[in-house]
Structure 1
Amino acid sequence: MGHRDAIVSQYVGIPKHAFIWNDVFIVSILYKKQFRTYFSSIGISITKHISKMQTALGSLIGPKKELHDLEGRVALVTGGALGIGYEVSRAFASAKAKIIMVSRDEDQGSAAITGIKKYFGSDTVVEWIHCDLGNLHEIKDVFTTIREKEDRLDLLVLSAGINANKYNLDYDGIDQHFGVNWLGQFYATNLLFPLIRRTSKMPSTPAPRIIVESSELHRLAPSATKFDSLDDINNSKLGPTQLYGRSKLAMILGIKYGLLERVMKPNADNIYAIAVHPGAVNTAIQQQWKDAYPGLTGKLLTNASLAIGRSPEQGAFTTLYAATSPEIEEKGWNGAYLSDPGKLGKESSQASDPKLGASLWTLSEDLVRQKIGENALLDWCS
């Protein structure tokens, strides 16, 4: 354990050998019996020290914030009214961008607009639009309207998602993890891409960027993942972390071997697409561990994530870096996977498999056409 870990451990009163960071900590609880046994005895202590831990983490660990001026630019954030997505929306508002937040909960949307305008001024340009990212028909209507209404789209941040949870189907009869975390946002990107491409050709305009929030837990995707059929996706025997990990694997593959290799390179687009890992973050989504693993394990996972996770603001930093830093273009990081601001992540072997990426892209297009119709997808080259 490093020096800063020891400092925080001492600060909150947790034994040094119990202090494990971020996703490594979560995996340990899930797969190592000794950690489950140990934390059953200190779970109450962890919960009591959540607020102290967050205070310590804010000053001692975590990525550094980097945000650049966005005046005159338009940003759309799925899941932009809550958690990491809300912090991204707030940051974009502080940089003077126009913000479009897309999510399901109207109350959260109203509260997000109120909070942003209260903090940055009533003249801040921000709106909220309802859409269920697990409903392809709704996605078609909502994002087609946005494309036709807006004059430009500089930043697309795909932050909506669900955490590891029990197997269930979305509106379209597709595993909810794959449907919400990947397929719905894949379709939204397709419907918005002509607008993004048009923006990239505007005079004196920085290259637009598309950011997806993946996770280090993409490593927990089943080794037998093929992305070759709906039956492969709708495997009810898979556990919550396998389902979640597979959806996050899809995000990395879709950016690198889909958008970059199949769309942007062949069309010489001046557009950047990047996958990021925000870290284990203290947001409401962590409560879903209790549904995924009823009983002690779920409670421990939730409490541990809340206790040692980054704050939502810190969780947004890698996304903000990917969306605005000049280093992305300077270093040629198109299609990259970032584990922290300015730091390339090391993907799993599955996430580096071009054949698996090609299968994912083909399956994604096939599923949208099956559910919506043969003409559902826009031509990526138009």
Structure 2
Amino acid sequence: MANTQNSAHGDGNRNMDSGGLQSILHKFVGPAQPELEDLSGWVAVVTGGALGIGYEVSRALAMANCRVIMVNRKEEQGNEAISNIKKDAPHAQVEWKECDLGHLASVRDVFSEIRERESRLDLLILSAGINTNQFGRDADGIDRHFGVNWLGHFYVCNQLWPLLRKTSKLTNTPPPRVVMESSEMHRFAPSNVHFATLDEINDENMDGTKLYGRSKLAMILGTKYGLVERVIKPNQDHVFALAVHPGVVNTAMQQQWKYAYPGLIGKLLTCTNTAVGRDPEQGAYSALWAATSPEIEEKGMNGFYFSDLGTPGKETSQASDPALGAALWELSERLVKEKLGENALVDWNAAA
């Protein structure tokens, strides 16, 4: 079985092709860097936070005095990320936790411990994932794109929701935010997606682009019609949930095109994306903007998908289908219970 999180939005190599075209053009093209205010006292959890886009998110937040908990699969990734951040900010408050998001029991163990240990959680940035690649199953026997990119993050949200709710009730504290790293690639989800059964999810004949697109579609649907419509609104929680597109970013995730499409096509796609993509720092800007911009709260932009900084995306009809969103949510809850038992989910209305 292939690794469940061998590369991703949050698991690319931040040093990859650092002398490439995107680095040369960094100051001249692409989005402007969001200006972060002092985040002293804030706590953030960043999945995929030790590499690629996730690392740049973690680094920016730590430099703004936020305490950051990075979550990745490999210890050497975490140790290197902490070392690199502390070179620039010796007093940065950063730590690392090991977790495979394609293993629901691991998600439960790691994030329930964070929930019980921490007194607050201001930002939850969901950046880990798998790029376009061939079909494979995660540790729970689920398509690894769906399992890591969506279902693992769904369960992270569930395990941490009581802590987010608790934080939302603190005085003189901005409402917590959940930011999912989705993608414009949600447009490539297959037209016959129903999110009805595990057999549908585990379609071994589906190509890598559709597998990836379906998982990114799930992240938008889960934000709008899951967290906002089925949790935040019924509970009247003062929490914001958002999805963003980071742009085409030159991290190690682009190398997965070669595995998704062996041969010349895969090599051409890899070369094209690594030549013109944003660098990881720029790729982090959309998540950082969504996590901290006052505009989100001022304009009540809950459940929005942004295709770039401050630019609401024009989702596909699938991503705007509340019935499809409801089906995804119900399937997600069912799969977690099937894998871990009827009591695996935390009550969405519970407080830490």
Query: Is the shorter-chain TM-score for this pair beyond 0.5, marking a shared fold?
Result: yes
Superposed, which structure 2 residues align to 1:6-155 within 5 Å? 51=19, 53-66=21-34, 67-121=36-90, 123-155=91-123
- What is the rounded CA distance, in whole Å, between the counterparts of 1:306 and 1:284 in structure 2? 9
- 2:182–2:219 contact (8 Å) kept in structure 1: yes
Superposed, which structure 2 residues align to 1:1-382 within 5 Å? 51=19, 53-66=21-34, 67-121=36-90, 123-382=91-350
The equivalent residue for 2:8 is none
Q: CA deviation at 1:105?
A: 1.2
Moved over 3 A (4+): 49-52
- 1:50–1:307 contact (8 Å) kept in structure 2: no
Q: CA deviation at 1:62?
A: 1.1
- What is the rounded CA distance, in whole Å, between the counterparts of 1:332 and 1:143 in structure 2? 28
- What is the rounded CA distance, in whole Å, between the counterparts of 1:218 and 1:57 in structure 2? 27
Tell me the TM-score normalized by structure 1.
0.86
- Give the share of equivalent positions with the same residue, in percent: 63
Q: CA deviation at 1:332?
A: 1.3
The equivalent residue for 1:43 is none
Aligned to 1:210, the other structure's residue is in SS state strand
- What is the rounded CA distance, in whole Å, between the counterparts of 1:63 and 1:332 in structure 2? 23
The equivalent residue for 2:10 is none
- 2:23–2:279 contact (8 Å) kept in structure 1: no
Q: CA deviation at 1:50?
A: 8.6
Q: CA deviation at 1:381?
A: 1.3
Q: CA deviation at 1:231?
A: 0.6
- What is the rounded CA distance, in whole Å, between the counterparts of 1:92 and 1:160 in structure 2? 17
Aligned to 1:60, the other structure's residue is in SS state coil
- What is the rounded CA distance, in whole Å, between the counterparts of 1:308 and 1:369 in structure 2? 43
- What is the rounded CA distance, in whole Å, between the counterparts of 2:121 and 2:219 in structure 1? 21
Q: CA deviation at 1:56?
A: 4.2
Tell me the TM-score normalized by structure 2.
0.93
- What is the rounded CA distance, in whole Å, between the counterparts of 1:342 and 1:373 in structure 2? 41
- What is the rounded CA distance, in whole Å, between the counterparts of 1:302 and 1:318 in structure 2? 23
Q: Could you give the per-residue CA deviations for residues 347-376 of structure 1, whole angstroms, max 9, x where no partner exists?
A: 011000000000000000000000000000
Amino acid of the structure 2 residue aligned with 1:167: F
- 1:222–1:246 contact (8 Å) kept in structure 2: yes
Q: Could you give the per-residue CA deviations for residues 302-339 of structure 1, whole angstroms, max 9, x where no partner exists?
A: 11111000010000001000000100111111000001
- What is the rounded CA distance, in whole Å, between the counterparts of 2:310 and 2:150 in structure 1? 24
Structural RMSD (CA): 1.1
Unaligned runs of 5+ in 2: 1-16
The equivalent residue for 2:3 is none
Larger Rg: 1
The equivalent residue for 1:18 is none
Q: CA deviation at 1:52?
A: 5.1
Distance 1:325 1:362, change over 3 A: same
Q: CA deviation at 1:61?
A: 1.7
- What is the rounded CA distance, in whole Å, between the counterparts of 2:38 and 2:219 in structure 1? 27
Amino acid of the structure 2 residue aligned with 1:365: E
- What is the rounded CA distance, in whole Å, between the counterparts of 1:52 and 1:84 in structure 2? 17
- 1:147–1:191 contact (8 Å) kept in structure 2: yes
